[in-house]
Structure 1
Amino acid sequence: MSVMTARAARGATPRDGTPDLLRRSLRVDGVGTAVFGAVMLAGGRWLADPLGLPGDWFAPIGIGMLGGAAALGLIAGYPRVPAGLARAAIAANALSGAVMLPLAVTGALPLTGLGVAFMLAGAAWVLTFAGLTFAGLRQSGSHA
């Protein structure tokens, strides 16, 4: 068992005081958010019809996602992740999921089957990372 695996198994905290789960969840969420933002910016013209999303939504959402990805990267880069910023990331992900789920299933948008799957995948992503970041924050003891 490697040192990293042993530390992860114990829920250990690196020397900087931030649990691995908290920092890693923020970093992976940031990378995924950046990829999603880039896809929205670059592919909006081609994705609008197959997904059933309004074409003029892609650029603002893509720019917002890239901004969110940058924020997640900055938060994860602190020597010790501030609890308030981690909570803000959790809240942003939970809110995003709370918006995407109803949009995917209520018919409020003229989504295609692929569009529904795209929205559900996005909701699953943000809700998963809200949970992982929350678990990492609890692990850090800074959740109060």
Structure 2
Amino acid sequence: MSAATAPGRVRGRAAAATPIMASRPSLRESMPGREPVTMTVHYRHDDRFDAALTCVISLAQGRQRPVRRKDLIMAAVASPSTAPAKAEAKLLRFALKQDAIGSGANGLVYLAAAAIFGSMFGLPAAMLVPVGAFLVAFAGFLLYLASRPAVNRAAVITVMAVNVAWVIASAEVLIAGWFPLTGLGIALVIAQAVVVAGFAGLQFAGLRKS
């Protein structure tokens, strides 16, 4: 092959390739009267996001009207992530877990040493056993509530109501003298009331933030 014929063949191949490239329609030609749209979607699993994404895709395919920047912004706003929700509920989950630890430990001690506590604190053992069983069950419910992906607000309000009722009952025990409490018994009732009131306060603060 000579040097004179090689460029001719190269030019011939380039010329033959030109019609193939020119025959491909551009995006603007395939969508007459519409501007091409470029979308970047950051996907997170969320039902509302799925609905918003479906709406955007249907708009992009021309089923309703051309996609505008306003549509994309509205779709992004309509799909909040679950990660910020978990971060906002961090204080609430912490309060529920601490309440569960305190209630569970207290309940187990009541069940294991009801007779000893009865003589030491002046509280009847017949009352400490059912109270201990309730506290253990209550602790399990708190742990279950704190482990859920979305904390149930109505359940948290119920937990706060139980804690407030405990504080009120503790005050009634001290004021009305329902039981012949010893000095240690009075200190125990006051300490428990203060701790439970603190749990209720933390749960209220966490509920407001979540």
TM range (shorter): 0.7 to 0.9
Per the normalisation by structure 2, the TM-score is 0.58
- Whole-angstrom distance in 1 between the partners of 2:131 and 2:84: 34
Match of 1:17 among 85, 91, 95: 85
**Residue of structure 2 equivalent to 1:96:** 166
Residue segments in structure 1 that go unaligned for 5+ positions in a row: 1-13
Q: Which amino acid aligns with 1:90?
A: M
Match of 1:53 among 106, 123, 127: 123
Query: Counting helix residues as a fraction of each chain, which structure ranks higher?
Result: 1
Identity percentage of aligned residues: 34
**RCO higher in structure (CA 8 A, sep ≥6):** 1
Greater than 3 Å deviation, 4+ residue runs: none
Per the normalisation by structure 1, the TM-score is 0.84
Q: How many angstroms does 1:102 deviate by? A: 2.0
- Superposition pairs of residues 1-144 of structure 1, within 5 angstroms: 15=83, 17-18=85-86, 19-140=89-210
CA displacement 1:64-120 (0-9 Å, x = unmatched): 000100111111111010110111111110111111122124322110010011111
- Whole-angstrom distance in 2 between the partners of 1:93 and 1:42: 23
Would you say the 8 A contact 1:105–1:116 is kept in 2?
A: no
Residue segments in structure 2 that go unaligned for 5+ positions in a row: 1-81
The number of residue pairs the alignment matches comes to 127
- Work out which of the two has the higher radius of gyration on C-alpha atoms and give 1 or 2: 2
Is the partner of 2:83 in helix, strand or coil? coil
